[in-house]
Amino acid sequence: MPNAQDTMFQEALAAIQAGNRARARDLLTRLLKTTQDNPEYWIWMSAVVETAKERAFCLNKALQLDPLNAAAKRGLAMMGAGPVDESQVLPGRYQRRNWQSKLFAEQEEERKGLPARQLALLGVAFVVVIGLILFAVLGQFQDRNRNRGVAGRRFTWTPSLTSTITVLVTPTGTIQPTPLALLLEATYTPTPIYVNTPHPANEAYRSAIRAYSRGDWETVRRFMNDLLTAEPRAADAHYYIGETYRAEGNYAEAFKSYNRALEIDPNFAPAYLGRARATLGRNPKDVRQAQIELETAIEKDGNYGEAYLELALLHIQNDAPEEAIGVLEGVTSLMPSSAQLYLYLGMAYLEEGDFQNALANARKARDLDLTMLPAYRLIGQILQAQGDLEGSLEPLLTYTQYEKEDAVAWVWLARAQQAAGLSDEAFQSLDRALRLDKNLYEALLRRGQMYLERQEGEKALEDFRAALSLQSDSFDAGIGIARALMLLDYPGDGYMQLERTSGLAKTDAQKAELYYWRGQSLEALGEFGPALRTWNALLALPKGSASSEWLEFAQQRVAELTRLTPTVTPTRTPTSTQTRVPTATTKPSATPRPTQTRKP
């Protein structure tokens, strides 16, 4: 009858065969915790680890245990991490691969049986296929090392976990990278569980751990309670029960379980980490107590990387990026391959305003784990903070492809799409953001401006008013309301809105915008004297305050109004009516109304 280790090993092999590398890695990790002198376990572990460094470590370990192990030698040689075993190499003149034999046989068959015309067609097809492959490869190298906009792009390259370059052709004929979901089975790369105490005689523990990886909390509790019946001093069982309650938001029961674990073993560091997380879950403002728990966890176990990461995140969330950087940089040697560590470093440096270090660490996190979606989000955020909106497009597209419920990320994506000239896509992204959160100020403001461009005044007015209700001191929302009213042919109401907004104009650029739209509203009302003074005020602003188009337009209006109305003075001040129709104003009788000029 096979023992528990043999059964677990067979489960690991079955998981590898089924393509479930995470499951296999978990099982082999548990096997190696109890039996580290089995080279076969190390060989198979090398097949399921994530990085080349880990793979080489496993193969070297197998070779130390069995210096003649052919599989370990061959694996290291293929990685370039070990010498080639000449005894396993066939002399070159005898090396004919299976594919060569098959190809030669097929070619001979073709020469015997295919007519010349078919051979010619096959030759043309072969040339076309080779040309397409070369085009894809050349496109990869052409685009890999430079940031560029989407407009006009023909090929983009996204690193994948395979050596095959896969592309999709869109209906417009452009080539886009294959979505991440088609290349990866899981969103995140699982890591071995830190708290994994061997209980070789108890199958309940193994069943509980499997249920834990699935998030089946009730089953975890049932099996861990079975384990406690047999092993009442199992502190880790109480810890896992506490974790299930914390995941369900039952913090009172979670604390009870963590405390039971510490009664059994006061040095059991994970229970302090659990208490820190439960403390913040119960009261996010109780930062000091959470920090004490985390520092205690680190004191009890100086190698507990997860506690360091949680402490760094606590500092980041509480506006202490310097402390976070100090914690993280102090443990890089402990966790050199931790994508989470470099993600948090990127977040801390961004909070400090150090964009260069922030971007370098965010990219390192992504490179260590291509499936870590927050790394793509952080890269996009940093690039936008640097002003590289177009460069942020690709990482944000990757992120929103899978994380569809992040409203803020959809707004960031809309910024990038607008910068790249993708107005329709940007509009859809803003719609998506506002379906998720209707109170996003920037999304309302941007969509209102896009509605203005589409000449949809009513919808623009609705969005700008909603934005102003969220930020009552918003100059942009106030100007937007005025523009929407003017578009709807209510210049009187538009003028009054501009007057209400004038006090919010703090910069010369804002004053230029105010004067530009005020001048047009006054002309629409027939108030040519005030309009003339407004256009002159725009022209008198410091250089660079207004665009060249606005300045040219203002000069044209000054010339026209000066020629037509040299001494005109308004007789009444325009006012808003309750029906949003402007109050009638007295027009100068001796002066013809100027011709309307197209708005730029």
Domains and CATH numbers, the chain: 4-87 (1.25.40.10), 127-140+154-186 (no CATH), 200-300 (1.25.40.10)
- 524, 527, 529, 532 alpha-carbon torsion, rounded to 10°: -20
The whole model's pTM is what? 0.63
Q: Is the pLDDT of residue 40 over 60?
A: yes
Q: Is the pLDDT of residue 120 over 70?
A: no
Q: Left, alpha or beta for 69 (phi > 0: left; psi -120 to 50: alpha)?
A: beta
72: which 2 tokens?
Answer: 């370990």
Q: Is the pLDDT of residue 494 over 80?
A: yes
Q: Is the pLDDT of residue 339 over 90?
A: yes
- pLDDT tens-digit series, residues 415-470: 999 999 999 999 999 999 999 999 999 999 999 999 999 999 999 999 999 999 99
More confident: 443 or 184: 443
The answer to whether 547 touches 555, Cβ cutoff 8 Å, is no
- Smallest CA-to-CA distance from 186 within 25, 380, 402, 339 is with 402
Tell me the average pLDDT across 287-305. 94
Percent of the chain surpassing pLDDT 70: 72
Helix (H) or strand (E) holding 104: helix 98-113
- 223, 2, 27, 218 alpha-carbon torsion, rounded to 10°: -10
Tell me the average pLDDT across 176-195. 45
Give 189's pLDDT tier (boundaries 50, 70, 90). Answer: very low
The answer to whether 234 touches 209, Cβ cutoff 8 Å, is no
Q: Is the pLDDT of residue 75 over 60?
A: yes
Q: Is the pLDDT of residue 526 over 70?
A: yes
Residue indicated by tokens 């401006």: 449
HEC sequence for 302-323: CCCHHHHHHHHHHHHHCCCHHH
State whether residue 445 is helix, strand or coil. Answer: helix
Residue indicated by tokens 């896992």: 240
More confident: 109 or 168: 109
Give 39's pLDDT tier (boundaries 50, 70, 90). Answer: confident
Q: Give the residues across from 177 on adjacent strands.
A: 167
Q: Is the pLDDT of residue 85 over 70?
A: no
Q: Is the pLDDT of residue 197 over 70?
A: no
Whole-number pLDDT of residue 81: 60
Residues near 56 by beta carbon (within 8 Å), at least 6 away in sequence: 76, 79, 81
* Burial bucket for residue 12 (CB in 10 Å: 0-12, 13-18, 19+): buried
Whole-number pLDDT of residue 48: 84
Tell me the average pLDDT across 326-342. 92
Percent of the chain surpassing pLDDT 90: 55
Backbone angles phi, psi at 8, to 5 degrees: -65, -40
Whole-number pLDDT of residue 162: 30
Question: How confident is the prediction for the chain on average, in pLDDT?
Answer: 79
